[in-house]
Amino acid sequence: MPIRLHESLSRTQRELQPAQPDGVFRFYNCGPTVYAPAHIGNFRTFVVNDVIRRLLELEFGPDKVKHVRNLTDVDDRTIGQTQKEKRPLAEITKKWTGLFHADCAALNCLRPHHEPTATGYIKEQVSMIEVLMEKGNAYRAADGSVYFKVSSFEDYGALSRIKERELKVTNMVADSDHKDAVSDFALWKAWKPEEDGDVKWPGPRGAGAGRPGWHIECSAMSKALLGDTIDLHTGGVDLLFPHHENEIAQSQCCNGTQFAHHWYHSEHLLVDGTTMSKSKGNYYTLGDLLAKGYSAMVVRYALLMMGHPRKQLNFTLDSLHTAESSLTRLRTFRSALAAKAGAVQAQPSGRFKAVLDALRDDLNTPWAQGELFGDINLWKPEGQTAQHAAEDLAAFDQILFALGLDVTATTEPPKPAAPAAITALADQRWAAKQAKDWAGADALRKELTAAGWSMLDSKDSYRLEPLKK
């Protein structure tokens, strides 16, 4: 069964297929701006894209997928941060890039094959801008900036179906600058010493020094690393307009050919029913959630499995509890399977096939979850030979690979140690239990519970865990 994915331009589901004769699937995913820690909304998109990458590898083979995800390391926000911190741009972007990589690794996202930075591709961007100027699709403004002339591209608006007169009037006033038309967008932004500090590069022929606009970077990096036409271009819905609309305009006018065969956009994450923002106090980074005691794998599960990627997902801390319980069941199930299989190695059985099919059907993760637990519920250890169990284990592991869920790693954060007062109570209860003083033991358990601790007995020892918040 081929992978079918919703396509934003046609608004239909289309099969994913490599178009080039080399059979390599070319996949570009718009990456983060590295000026602050990425928040979990960002990571929903990256986790979803990671599953696309994994499905593509399963479908076409690991060496037949070329996945590019950029880092935006120069734009208004990164530069704004240099001004705020009075530190060089590279220092700031390096710091946040490092954290982004760490978060991605914790969330078990595969590294893209290329991770270009905007500042690493200035020449490529400049040269595209020059071509656009030569072709009459771009013009130099009075201040030395270069703008794309939207009216020169007939198909503009095809992706977002937005017409310039439909844009909110208030936004049109604010951004007058030196443009010929309000909908024209910057390809190159002239250097403003008071705002940009020392961030500048030599501009395209006929323009001043400055820096590239945001949109051109993706066009240039995609062209440089994947060629003029790619198989799939993805990002969050917010990028649909203007970012992707503008990329299409730039790339197609410059290259004279179709830019992307397939556009895919994942929906936004909401937190507590509304847009996440620092002022609302519902803004979470991965670090924030780890600090609350959740594992990154639980976060991945919640971001991926608890809602369809093309529907807004309302994230709550409660959903992390759900995810945690679900993930624990997966872990338990795998242990049972592995125990039964022993050392036997085998090819995947047909079990869990429906899970993969659900993913191939427009990344329907909730459906996949249904199939997954449905199959787990049907599994019975009785009558299973080690061979069968090994086959089922191989099939299960394939599903875990596709979803990027690592249940074998001990990703659980260490439980905090109990304070001395609690351990003392626990010891007392243990003693009471050994003396078969059930009433005393129960009373002590109640005390522990009241203090927020749970005492888990085993044959000849016990451990203490804090009760769930």
Partner RNA sequence: GGCGCGGUAGCCAAGUGGUAAGGCCGAGCUCUGCAAAAGCUCUAUCGGCGGUUCGAUUCCGCCCCGCGCCUCCA
Q: How far apart, in Å, are the Cα atoms of 5 and each of 46, 360, 362?
A: 16, 8, 4
Rounded to whole angstroms, the Cα distance separating 140 from 178 reads 9
Rounded to whole angstroms, the Cα distance separating 314 from 70 reads 27
438 near RNA, judged by CB under 7 A: yes
Nearer to RNA, 113 or 308 (CB): 308
Nearer to RNA, 347 or 458 (CB): 458
Three-class SS state of 29? strand
189 near RNA, judged by CB under 7 A: yes
Nearer to RNA, 420 or 456 (CB): 456
Choosing from 86, 168, 278, 469, the residue that interacts with RNA (CB under 7 A) is 168
Question: Smallest Cα–Cα separation from 18: which of 70, 64, 51?
Answer: 64
Choosing from 4, 113, 308, 353, the residue that interacts with RNA (CB under 7 A) is 308
166 near RNA, judged by CB under 7 A: yes
318 near RNA, judged by CB under 7 A: yes
Contact 76, 124 (CB under 8 A): no
434 near RNA, judged by CB under 7 A: no
CA atoms lying within 13 Å on the CB side of residue 183: 20
Contact 237, 265 (CB under 8 A): yes
Nearer to RNA, 374 or 452 (CB): 374
307 near RNA, judged by CB under 7 A: yes
Strand partners, 4: 15, 361
Neighbours of 259 (CB within 10 A): 23
Rounded to whole angstroms, the Cα distance separating 409 from 412 reads 8
φ, ψ (nearest 5 deg) of residue 195: -100, -35
Query: What is the nearest approach in angstroms of RNA to the Cβ of residue 359?
Result: 12
Binding piece for RNA, criterion CB under 7 A, among 58-66, 86-94, 410-418, 450-458: 450-458
Choosing from 51, 89, 186, 394, the residue that interacts with RNA (CB under 7 A) is 186
328 near RNA, judged by CB under 7 A: yes
Binding piece for RNA, criterion CB under 7 A, among 13-21, 58-66, 394-402, 452-460: 452-460
325 near RNA, judged by CB under 7 A: yes
Nearer to RNA, 24 or 38 (CB): 38
Contact 162, 245 (CB under 8 A): yes
384 near RNA, judged by CB under 7 A: no
Binding piece for RNA, criterion CB under 7 A, among 13-21, 287-295, 344-352, 432-440: 432-440
389 near RNA, judged by CB under 7 A: no
Query: What is the nearest approach in angstroms of RNA to the Cβ of residue 120?
Result: 18
155 near RNA, judged by CB under 7 A: no
Rounded to whole angstroms, the Cα distance separating 310 from 188 reads 33
242 near RNA, judged by CB under 7 A: yes
84 near RNA, judged by CB under 7 A: no
360 near RNA, judged by CB under 7 A: no
452 near RNA, judged by CB under 7 A: no
Strand partners, 232: 27
Rounded to whole angstroms, the Cα distance separating 406 from 295 reads 11
Choosing from 58, 182, 317, 344, the residue that interacts with RNA (CB under 7 A) is 182
Token pair of 286 as six digits: 């991965």
Rounded to whole angstroms, the Cα distance separating 43 from 266 reads 11
CA atoms lying within 13 Å on the CB side of residue 79: 20
Token pair of 450 as six digits: 């009241």
26 near RNA, judged by CB under 7 A: no
Q: What is the 3-state secondary structure (H, E, C) of 120-171?
A: HHHHHHHHHHHHHHHCCCEEECCCCCEEECHHHCCCCCCCCCCCHHHCCHHH
Angle between helices 420-434 and 438-450 (to 10 degrees): 160
152 near RNA, judged by CB under 7 A: no
445 near RNA, judged by CB under 7 A: yes
Choosing from 4, 97, 99, 238, the residue that interacts with RNA (CB under 7 A) is 238
Choosing from 266, 300, 351, 400, the residue that interacts with RNA (CB under 7 A) is 266
Choosing from 6, 14, 26, 44, the residue that interacts with RNA (CB under 7 A) is 44
410 near RNA, judged by CB under 7 A: no
Amino acid identity of 64? K
Binding piece for RNA, criterion CB under 7 A, among 57-65, 87-95, 396-404, 448-456: 448-456
Query: What is the nearest approach in angstroms of RNA to the Cβ of residue 44?
Result: 5
Query: What is the nearest approach in angstroms of RNA to the Cβ of residue 345?
Result: 25
Question: Smallest Cα–Cα separation from 39: which of 114, 112, 107, 111?
Answer: 107
- Binders of RNA among residues 277 to 306 (CB under 7 A) are 306
Choosing from 95, 127, 201, 367, the residue that interacts with RNA (CB under 7 A) is 367
127 near RNA, judged by CB under 7 A: no
Query: What is the nearest approach in angstroms of RNA to the Cβ of residue 232?
Result: 14
Rounded to whole angstroms, the Cα distance separating 209 from 189 reads 8
Q: Considering all CA atoms of the chain, what is the largest pairwise distance in Å, rounded to the nearest integer? A: 91
208 near RNA, judged by CB under 7 A: no
